[in-house]
Amino acid sequence: MVQVLLVEDDVAIRTALTRALREHGHVVTSLASGMPALSAAVEQKPDVILLDLGLPDVDGADVLSMLRAVSDIPVIVATARDDEAEMVRLLDIGADDYVIKPFTAGQLNARIKAVLRRTGRTDEDPVLTVGGLSIDTRSYEVTVDGRPVELARKEFELLLALARRAGEVVSKRDLLSEVWQLAWGGSDRTVDVHLSWLRRKLGESAAEPRYLHSVRGVGVRLVAPEVAG
């Protein structure tokens, strides 16, 4: 189980996120201000910290700087400001990732998992399976019903991003961010093109999908063929 320290002064957001993250199977401690959070981070050593920047006692960025002086616990910052210069500054002072308000618990959970993987703190099974599809994240081998499928790097990463959230509709925005590291800009067309290559290699098409289902105007969902409705 992942121990999450949630630092957020807005009680409605804090309550909703705590509940949602617990539903995702995490152990959540929540605090409403910066200095107690700093003590808790050092004493409890959570696996990951979600840090709101607008806190009543200390600016979240200052909390992050102070934390980085003593700890390398992964930190995801939550901000209302969709401002590239600000994001770069936060990443420079030691944030591992960020979410822009308003964000969903599903998005946050995906970011938490991504940060834990990047920092080598995950116990994820190295082989993901969805129906007859198998993805080995160590050897980069993909098979469908036992048949090997050769994928280019971005096709593999796209498939993996979808498989890690199998059953969920993942937005193209999230895919551009997770697979292409394009937090801003980037075109849905990039996703569409790679999706079409991926479909061909998996032996399906948009018109006759098996695993990869486009949900118009929302995103893409990967499901095992037998449960696709």
Output 17 or 202, the one with its CB closest to Ca ion. 17
In three-state form (DSSP H/G/I as H, E/B as E, the rest C), the secondary structure along the chain is CCEEEEECCCHHHHHHHHHHHHHCCCEEEEECCHHHHHHHHHHHCCCEEEEECCCCCCCHHHHHHHHHHHCCCCEEEEECCCCHHHHHHHHHCCCCEEEECCCCHHHHHHHHHHHHHHCCCCCCCCEEEECCEEEECCCCCEEECCEEECCCHHHHHHHHHHHHCCCCEECHHHHHHHHCCCCCCCCHHHHHHHHHHHHHHHCCCCCCCCCEEEECCCEEEECCHHHCC
- In the complex with Ca ion, the residue whose CB is nearer, 29 or 119, is 29
In the shown chain, the binding pattern of residues 2 to 31 toward Ca ion, with x for contact by CB under 5 A and - for none, equals -------x----------------------
157 binds Ca ion (CB under 5 A): no
String of contacts with Ca ion for each residue 50-79, x by CB under 5 A = --x-x-------------------------
Query: What is the smallest separation between the CB atom of 30 and Ca ion, expressed in angstroms?
Result: 13
Please report how close the Cβ of residue 39 comes to Ca ion at its closest, in angstroms: 19
Q: Which is nearer to Ca ion, 52 or 174 (CB)?
A: 52
47 lines the binding site for Ca ion (CB under 5 A): no
Task: Tell me how many residues contact Ca ion (CB under 5 A).
Answer: 3
Closest distance of CB 2 from Ca ion, Å:
23
Residues that bind Ca ion (CB under 5 A): 9, 52, 54
